[in-house]
Amino acid sequence: MCLAVPGQVRDIFDAGGTRMGRVNFGGITKEVCLAYLPDIQVGDYTIVHVGFAISKIDEESAQKTLQMFHELGILEEELGSAS
């Protein structure tokens, strides 16, 4: 379940008391409800499910994960991958 797609917050506005934003998903901009992320700012990345931003993407954590993947290969070379 839970098709949630990452996008970048482009602007934030109020719509009748509800915090809304326009989020850019790789070139597509869509209006998204930001009510559940009161601290999110323009420029931040978030994941969006059914028109709602439900979590801010921790970019540092993402980079750490990608770095870990990168290092996986190096470790493998050092060990002289047998399998």
**Interface residue list for another protein (CB under 8 A):** 1-8, 17-18, 22, 25-31, 33, 35-38, 45, 47, 49-52, 54-55, 57-59, 61-62, 64-66, 69-70, 72-73, 76, 81-83
In angstroms, the CA 67 to CA 51 distance is 31
Query: Smaller CB distance to another protein: residue 14 or 83?
Result: 83
Distance of closest approach, residue 76 Cβ to another protein, in angstroms: 7
Residue 77 CB, nearest approach to another protein (Å) = 10
Q: Which residues pair with 56 in a beta bridge?
A: 46
How many other C-beta atoms are found inside a 10 Å radius of the C-beta of residue 34? 23
Q: In one letter, which amino acid is 2?
A: C
The Cα–Cα gap between 49 and 58 comes to 17
Q: Tell me the closest approach of the beta carbon of residue 48 to another protein, in angstroms.
A: 8
